[in-house]
Structure 1
Amino acid sequence: MFTGIIEAIGEVVDIVEEGSNQHFEISSHLTPELKIDQSVCHNGVCLTVTSLSDETYKVTAIDETLKRSNLSALKKGSKVNLERCMPSHGRFDGHIVQGHVDLTAKCTGIQEEAGSWLFDFSYQTENQEYLTVEKGSITINGVSLTCFDSTFESFRVAIIPYTYEHTNFHQLKTGDAVNLEFDIIGKYISKIIARKKS
């Protein structure tokens, strides 16, 4: 389990395709603290460390993960947001994040304010199974944020300077795809209500 509080930005140094899978080699200052079989969140996607070297580590994304997330768009040099799983004695600074991406969204606008940034996103879902609620939690590329101006298919978030500089939000452009994980509590409630209606 994760909290959506990014620990570091990693850099993709190599990508190897094997069948429908992709193996990513990541450079990060967290590498010396990792171990094989450890779960690490990459842009909001939980992946398992499969090998380690002095400065880099490797993870594998299967076809289903590549189709559901923006990992398939990564290239050598791409920056990814990283978070290790939360220790049992740690503080819950963000919200409950599983590292299971629900779908991708498109950045539709970036507006610089006096010392912060407003990012607009839109997403499409056929059955409205997923939605954002005003002042509710959303995970974007692994970052725990509060959304507002929410509709059935769009929302806005405000990014403070620290988050802007210490995540890959500073590289985000209009039209880019991001990974979304909706609040797990909201998803459970939505599922329960849907079953009662059927």
Structure 2
Amino acid sequence: MFTGIVQGTAEIVSIEEKDLFRTHIVKLPEALLPGLALGASVAHNGCCLTVTAIDDDRVSFDLIKETLRVTNLGNLRPGDVVNIERAAKFSDEIGGHLMSGHIMTTAEICKIIQSENNREVWFKIQDPAQMKYILHKGFVGIDGISLTVGDVTKTKFCVHLIPETLERTTLGAKTFGDLVNIEIDPHTQAIVDTVERVLAQRENAAIKTFTEQTVQE
């Protein structure tokens, strides 16, 4: 599990491409190296990846077909930078919201409104079916960052970014057309899916009752 509080950024130093598979090596910040071991989970732009090799501060991760398909990690090139978070410990402060590191879809930056101390960024989700889980003042994970949803339309939503977030994460360098990873808040998803299922059951029961009464008449 992760908290959505980015601990640093890391540069992709090399990439080994294979058929529907890649290994990328990142240069991890020194502060994130203590205790790191093979098999550990590290979030890259919010996507949970497993450590496969460690060579000083060069750490390797494998990306399978599904990861390359669903996330923006397949677009990375050597020299690109990703948001990094080590897996949370039970004693850690949960400053954001609990995140699994399982990316649901990506979103394109479609509008940026800049003011003196705030940046409002609008996103258009690539899978419209996920929009039902994006709620005003709800949580969303964007490239591994726990953020609060601002305004929401049928196809888009926005977040408000403070200078600290822009400085500490890769969002400060994002621009129009860039893709970000989206993790839906699992609690919101569970509530929405449950409500939909209950309403569907009630509707089906009402239709059945109406049909039976009609036949009897």
Q: 1:112 to 1:36 in 2, by over 3 A?
A: same
What is the CA–CA distance in structure 1 between the aligned matches of 2:124 and 2:152, rounded to whole Å? 10
Q: Which runs of 5+ in 1 are unaligned?
A: none
Structure 2 equivalent of residue 175 of structure 1: 177
- Checking the alignment, whether the CA contact within 8 Å between 1:128 and 1:152 is kept in structure 2 is no
Q: Which has the higher helix share?
A: 2
TM-score of the pair, normalised by structure 1: 0.95
Identity of aligned residues (%): 35
Q: Is 1:82 matched with 2:84? A: yes
Return the match for 2:95 from 93, 104, 124: 93
Supply the distance in 2 between the matched residues of 1:42 and 1:99 (Cα, whole angstroms). Answer: 9
**Aligned equivalents of 1:93 and 1:165: distance in 2?**
17
Instruction: Measure how far apart 1:128 and its partner are.
Output: 5.0
Q: Distance in 2 between matches of 1:115 and 1:168?
A: 17
The answer on 1:22 being equivalent to 2:2 is: no
Letter in 1 for 2:106: T
Q: Which residue of 1 aligns with 2:13?
A: 13
Query: How many residue pairs get matched?
Result: 198
Determine the C-alpha separation between the residues in 1 that align with 2:129 and 2:102. Answer: 19
CA offsets per residue over residues 109-164 of structure 1, 9 Å max, x none? Answer: 12221122111111143545743111111110000001111123211111111110
SS at match of 1:190: helix
**Unaligned 5+ residue runs, structure 2?**
202-217
Q: Structure 1 CA distance, aligned partners of 2:57 and 2:15? A: 16
Please state how far the C-alpha of 1:74 moved relative to its aligned partner. Answer: 0.3
Equivalent pair of 1:129/1:190 in contact (CA under 8 Å): no
Cα distance change on mapping 1:128 and 1:80 into 2, 3 Å: closer
* CA distance 1:130–1:46, shift in 2 (3 Å): farther
Equivalent AA in structure 2 for residue 80 of structure 1: V
2:44–2:83 CA contact under 8 A, matched in 1? yes
Cα RMSD (Å): 1.4
The aligned counterpart of 1:52 is: 54
Query: 1: CA distance between counterparts of 2:189 and 2:133?
Result: 9
Query: Highest Rg: 1 or 2?
Result: 2
- d(CA) in 1 for partners of 2:131, 2:140: 15
SS at match of 1:90: coil
Contact 1:2 1:83 in 2 (8 A): yes
Q: TM-score, normalised by structure 2?
A: 0.87
